[in-house]
């Protein structure tokens, strides 16, 4: 049995919170798993994130990539299914490693912070995991810094989609991690 919380307050203990007072937006999705026996490796957590996208979300990402290309914004490099599998297989979660446009920026024992800077906005997404009492906590924290009008328009469109899907993705992540662990 798992529970998901959307929390509003950030703990100062995380890498992603260093400049939180300069952040335009943040959210936290936290899942407490009673099924997982130990915190997953952070690289596995990030891989499971990408493998947990619902089909409808992948379609929206494809549309986003097409529109972003015409606006001159950063997009993910086109890859085949086999290339994506190789990226996942070889991904170690070291600083500088990337999956799509998510580059590992910093890490600690419990957190792997990814992100990307662009002319319209910067985003960061931290993958955090640790044991708390009798459960394993999986946490996704997103921060966004908006730079201009295009960033405000873009994020006003993306924000509700982000929040709708992150809730679903973190639940699916738990299942993917369980499958990978053969529990």
Residue spans per domain, the chain: 2-181
Asked if 33 contacts 2 with a C-beta cutoff of 8 angstroms, the reply is yes
We find that the CATH architecture of domain 2-181 is 2-Layer Sandwich (3.30)
What's the rounded mean pLDDT across residues 53-70? 84
Q: What is the pLDDT of residue 76?
A: 63
How does residue 105 score in pLDDT terms, banded at 50, 70 and 90?
very high
pTM of the shown model: 0.88
Q: What distance in Å separates the CA atoms of residue 119 and residue 151, rounded to the nearest whole number?
A: 8
| Residue 78, pLDDT above cutoff 80 | no
| Residue 132, pLDDT above cutoff 70 | yes
| Residue 33, pLDDT above cutoff 90 | yes
Backbone angles phi and psi of 170, in degrees to 5: -65, -35
| Residue 37, pLDDT above cutoff 60 | yes
Q: What distance in Å separates the CA atoms of residue 46 and residue 66, rounded to the nearest whole number?
A: 24
Q: Please name the residue that has the structure tokens 């992603």.
A: 16
CA triple 74-77-83, angle to 5 deg: 155
């Amino acid at each position: 049995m798992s529970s998901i919380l959307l929390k509003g307050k950030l703990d100062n203990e995380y890498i992603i919170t260093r400049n939180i007072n300069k952040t335009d937006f943040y959210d936290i999705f936290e899942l407490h798993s009673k099924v997982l026996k130990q915190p997953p490796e952070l690289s596995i957590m990030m891989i499971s994130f990408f493998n947990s996208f619902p089909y409808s979300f992948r379609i929206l990402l494809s549309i986003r990539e097409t529109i972003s290309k015409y606006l001159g914004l950063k997009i993910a490099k086109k890859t085949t299914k086999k290339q994506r599998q190789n990226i996942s297989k070889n991904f170690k979660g070291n600083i500088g490693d990337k999956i799509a446009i998510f580059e590992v920026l910093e890490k600690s024992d419990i957190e792997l912070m990814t992100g990307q800077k662009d002319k319209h906005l910067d985003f960061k997404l931290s993958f955090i995991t640790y044991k708390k009492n009798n459960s394993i906590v999986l946490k996704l924290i997103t921060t966004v810094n908006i730079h201009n009008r295009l960033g405000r328009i873009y994020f006003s469109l993306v924000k509700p989609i982000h929040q709708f899907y992150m809730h679903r993705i973190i639940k699916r992540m738990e299942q993917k991690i369980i499958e990978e662990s053969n529990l």
